[in-house]
Structure 1
Amino acid sequence: LLLLFSDQQGQDIKDTKGKEKLRKDALKALQGVMKQIVDDESIEDLYFTSYFVE
């Protein structure tokens, strides 16, 4: 997740479409890790309550 988040540009997550793409990408990354660890994607969805862009 750190690599995924650090690759983002502020302009990329400025609008709803960009935030939704980031959410979906993060969900896929987490599901991939869970699949490797426990052979189950386990995570159904991912929600962010706020964004901090530096």
Structure 2
Amino acid sequence: MFGLFNRFSKVSMLEKKYAKLMKDSHRLSTINRAQSDLKFAEAQSILDQLDKIKT
């Protein structure tokens, strides 16, 4: 019953956030390499969280 209002699971939300950050990182790689690296590092931390949840 409590899951009724939870539309997305935590894993799917993190996967979407990871995909968005990777897309932004790729887009920024041609414009501003420093910002691209920051987005990539953020995406990497989310990937680490996903690994912890899945195992």
TM-score of the two chains, using structure 1 as the length reference? 0.48
Identify, as 1 or 2, the structure richer in helix: 2
The structure having more radius of gyration, on CA atoms, is 2
By relative contact order (CA 8 Å, sep 6+), the higher-ranking structure is 2
